[in-house]
Amino acid sequence: MERPSHLIDTHEVVGASAAEVRPIPVTRTFLPDLAAYTELMRGVWERGWLTNHGPLVKDLENRLREYLNAPDLFVLNNGTVALQIGIKALDLRDEVIVTPFSYVATVSSAVWENCTPVFADIDPVHLTIDPKAVERAITPRTTGILATHVFGVPCATEELQDIADRHGLRILYDGAHVFGVRYLGKPITAYGDVTTLSFHATKLFHTIEGGAVIARNAELGHKLSYMRNFGHNGPEAFQGIGINGKMSEAHAAMGHLVLDSMDHIARSRKISWEAYRDALGDITALELLHVREGTDYNHAYFPVVFDTEARLLKVREALRAEHIEPRRYFYPSLDTLPYVVSEACAVSRSIAQRVLCLPLFADMHPELVPRIAGIVRAGL
Ligand SMILES: *Cc1c(COP(=O)(O)O)cnc(C)c1O
């Protein structure tokens, strides 16, 4: 397929000027065949049914329930509304124990829902919330735990459930990175009370904008389902308070086509992820991701943790000089947000200063990973 020159990737041409090349971003959205998308949209035009639980949304919801083995899954318009609905459905209020190492939405949604975030530091190996720190952070005002399966690595789910059971707490997992992961023989979404997903265009599976909530049981699932639809229970009755969390047919159409290609996407990302690991695994100044034992991983991200921030900045400059744009995921540590009060989370702050996510997406040019790895190695 011919592309205009400004869309030519840097690895495809030698000696091209900056104006002619498209930078390599940290992630590139998987785009299905445009004709197939148009065909699905033709059906939307014919039906004149654009939103409010249309057939594409309902079908996608059913396909995702099956694909993820999650019977009480409900699709939503984004992953942040998913968190807000999860917080409301679990009646989280007052103090909620949160991870400082995540995307800002994890913590901002809790604050938005009038919870007081109490930060528990992370485990330096897996980068997920440290159960011992969670236990120390519990007070008589604690109502729940909000933790992220960061970079697709499961939290210490067994230990967290044990703590929650002993203290009568609910667990909400931010599963924005964890699409398709299985842990200890079960879908990752089977752990905790509610798990949220994000289907944003930067994520492994996407619907342009979108998300989902998954409940551990049908009763909680029912609560999630009316909460996403203004609290409606039939056209003229209300079950309780709700919000507009509905996905549209245009977003669901994208979801269907991306889901059709999911096996290809997963395979392609795995190849690039393993190529990075093989190319960078021997460098002592770099720590690679430690996927928790017992995980069927989804190759969602390729973060590298440098021994010093100075080295990170040096390597980032070297990559930028070659039109490669890694991202500082996640920086800054969320315990430094201007609207929270927290004791310093030393581990999270230290990791946040030294972590960089390298470009990873489906259908990367085969020469790209060795090229990026070479720049990283030379730039150390
Ligand atoms: C992307 C992301 C979100 C937000 O999801 P949106 O769909 O963009 O609202 C929340 N938490 C984490 C960890 C994320 O990476």
CA of 14 to the centre of ligand 1 (A): 36
CA of 65 to the centre of ligand 1 (A): 20
Compute the distance between CA of residue 353 and CA of residue 307 in angstroms, rounded to an integer.
10
> Looking at the chain, how many residues does it have?
380
State which amino acid sits at residue 29.
T
Question: Is residue 86 in contact with ligand 1, taking CB distance under 6 Å?
Answer: no
pLDDT at 61: 98
Q: Ligand 1 atom 10: the closest Cα is on which residue?
A: 105
Q: Which atom of ligand 1 is nearest to 177's Cα?
A: 15
For the chain, helix (H) and strand (E) counts, in that order, are 12, 15
pLDDT at 21: 67
CA of 116 to the centre of ligand 1 (A): 20
CATH topology of domain 34-120+127-259: Aspartate Aminotransferase; domain 2 (3.40.640)
The CATH number given to 262-379 is 3.90.1150.10
Q: Do residues 99 and 147 make contact, with C-beta atoms less than 8 angstroms apart? A: yes
Compute the distance between CA of residue 117 and CA of residue 45 in angstroms, rounded to an integer.
45
Which residue shows structure tokens 């970079």? 151
pLDDT at 9: 53
CA of 329 to the centre of ligand 1 (A): 12
CA distances in angstroms from 219 to 90, 193, 240, 297, listed in the order given: 12, 11, 14, 30
Question: Is residue 174 in contact with ligand 1, taking CB distance under 6 Å?
Answer: yes
Alpha helix (H) residue ranges in the chain? 34-47, 55-67, 79-89, 104-112, 131-137, 157-167, 218-227, 249-260, 262-280, 309-321, 346-354, 368-379
Q: Which residues contact 294 (CB under 8 A, 6 or more apart)?
A: 183, 184, 185
CA distances in angstroms from 365 to 170, 185, 259, listed in the order given: 44, 33, 22
Q: Please identify every stretch of the chain with a pLDDT value under 70, giving residue numbers as ranges.
A: 1-21
Compute the distance between CA of residue 376 and CA of residue 380 in angstroms, rounded to an integer.
6
pTM: 0.95
Question: Is residue 207 in contact with ligand 1, taking CB distance under 6 Å?
Answer: no
Question: Is residue 292 in contact with ligand 1, taking CB distance under 6 Å?
Answer: no
pLDDT at 22: 79
Which residue shows structure tokens 């002993």? 166
Q: Where exactly are the structural domains of the chain?
A: 34-120+127-259, 262-379
Compute the distance between CA of residue 101 and CA of residue 111 in angstroms, rounded to an integer.
16
Residue 96's DSSP bridge partners are 117, 144
Q: What letters, b where the CB count within 10 A reaches 16 and e where it falls short, cover 370-379?
A: ebbbebbbeb
Q: Do residues 75 and 227 make contact, with C-beta atoms less than 8 angstroms apart? A: no
Question: Is residue 102 in contact with ligand 1, taking CB distance under 6 Å?
Answer: yes
Question: Is residue 79 in contact with ligand 1, taking CB distance under 6 Å?
Answer: yes
CA of 380 to the centre of ligand 1 (A): 31
Q: Ligand 1 atom 2: the closest Cα is on which residue?
A: 176
Question: Is residue 106 in contact with ligand 1, taking CB distance under 6 Å?
Answer: yes
Structure tokens at 349: 């702050």
pLDDT at 141: 98
pLDDT at 351: 98
